[in-house]
């Protein structure tokens, strides 16, 4: 009897590791299943999130491309933009989703990295908050504006014409359409004789003629510049003085040609 009992105990001892092994395998299977299910849930949640944010993100990309960049570039040919893109980034505290919009920005052969972080809250996706380097933005803007000013200056020089008051008057008197095509909008250095000096409102007007025409102004020049140098020159002018006046040729003015934004050459 005692011997039989010992045999039963030995059998039970032999069975215990097998039972433990089966339980462990079952535990592992359950955990793997839960991990897979959780991973699937995360993937589905991320897919749903991206689908939900697709339209708000596209709106921000359009604003960046069609509003911000054109203002920053300021129609300056020395500025080139390419590779506009965005990346998802970790949303800071208080926000649910965030992206980083950037592009390759070349300003006169200098490359800048000027990203903008757009931060969203799911409850109000159409009113995101923005994060950017304001100091760097001002540096880039100042450089672009300086380049733009230089381009405009060069453009004015390229479109500059030198003409006498009589030549300009005769061109418009003969054919206004043809004269506009040749002169209007260009910067002119107009040579003539001072015939009249007058004021109207805040502007001073100088009428130019020549020795052949003493009865009317051939060209009227408007001075709105109030700098001391310009005002001192205007005060010292006398009828009959020969001058060269620089200004924007604005076309026919009923009886003569008009120059605007004038200064002394």
pLDDT of residue 40: 53
Domain with CATH 2.40.50.140 in the chain: 161-264
Residue 19 pLDDT level (bands cut at 50, 70, 90):
low
pLDDT of residue 102: 94
Give the residue with greater pLDDT, 26 vs 221: 221
Give the residue with greater pLDDT, 1 vs 192: 192
Residue 168 pLDDT level (bands cut at 50, 70, 90):
very high
Which residue stretches of 64-190 are H helix?
A: 69-73, 134-158, 165-174, 176-183
CA distance 209 to 224: 21
At 73-129, the pLDDT tens digits run 888 888 999 999 999 999 999 998 999 999 999 998 889 888 999 999 988 888 999
Residue 245 pLDDT level (bands cut at 50, 70, 90):
very high
Residue 72 pLDDT level (bands cut at 50, 70, 90):
confident
pLDDT of residue 120: 92
Distances (CA, A) of 77 to 61, 70, 224: 23, 12, 30
Average pLDDT in the chain: 84
| CATH 2.40.37.10 holds for 161-264 | no
Distances (CA, A) of 144 to 12, 155, 173: 87, 16, 42
C-beta neighbour count of 179 within 10 angstroms:
20
Distances (CA, A) of 259 to 88, 110, 117: 56, 39, 49
Region 158-183: mean pLDDT is 92
pTM exceeds 0.75? no
- Count Cα neighbours of 110 within 13 Å in the Cβ-side half-sphere: 9
Residue 247 in contact with residue 261, Cβ under 8 Å?
yes
């Amino acid at each position: 009897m005692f011997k039989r009992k010992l045999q039963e105990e030995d059998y039970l001892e032999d069975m215990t590791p097998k039972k433990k092994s089966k339980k462990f395998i079952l535990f592992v299977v359950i955990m793997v299943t839960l991990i897979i299910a959780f991973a699937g849930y995360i993937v589905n949640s991320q897919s749903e999130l991206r689908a939900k944010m697709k339209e708000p993100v596209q709106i921000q990309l359009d604003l960046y491309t069609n509003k911000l960049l054109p203002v920053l570039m300021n129609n300056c040919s020395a500025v080139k933009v390419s590779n506009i893109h965005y990346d998802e980034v970790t949303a800071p505290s208080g926000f649910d989703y965030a992206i980083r919009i950037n592009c390759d920005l070349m300003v006169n052969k200098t490359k800048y990295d000027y990203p903008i972080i757009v931060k969203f809250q799911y409850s109000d996706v159409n009113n995101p908050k923005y994060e950017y380097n304001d100091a760097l933005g001002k540096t880039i803007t100042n450089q672009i504006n300086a380049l733009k000013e230089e381009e405009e200056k060069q453009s004015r020089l390229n479109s500059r014409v030198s003409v006498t008051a009589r030549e300009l008057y005769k061109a418009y008197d003969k054919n206004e359409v043809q004269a506009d095509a040749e002169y209007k909008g260009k910067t002119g250095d107009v040579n003539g004789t001072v015939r009249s000096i007058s004021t109207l409102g805040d502007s001073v007007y100088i009428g130019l003629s020549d020795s052949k025409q003493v009865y009317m102004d051939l060209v009227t020049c408007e001075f709105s510049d109030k700098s001391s140098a310009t005002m001192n020159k205007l005060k010292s002018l006398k009828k009959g003085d020969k001058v060269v006046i620089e200004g924007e040729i604005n076309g026919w003015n009923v009886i003569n040609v008009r120059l605007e934004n004038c200064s002394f050459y």
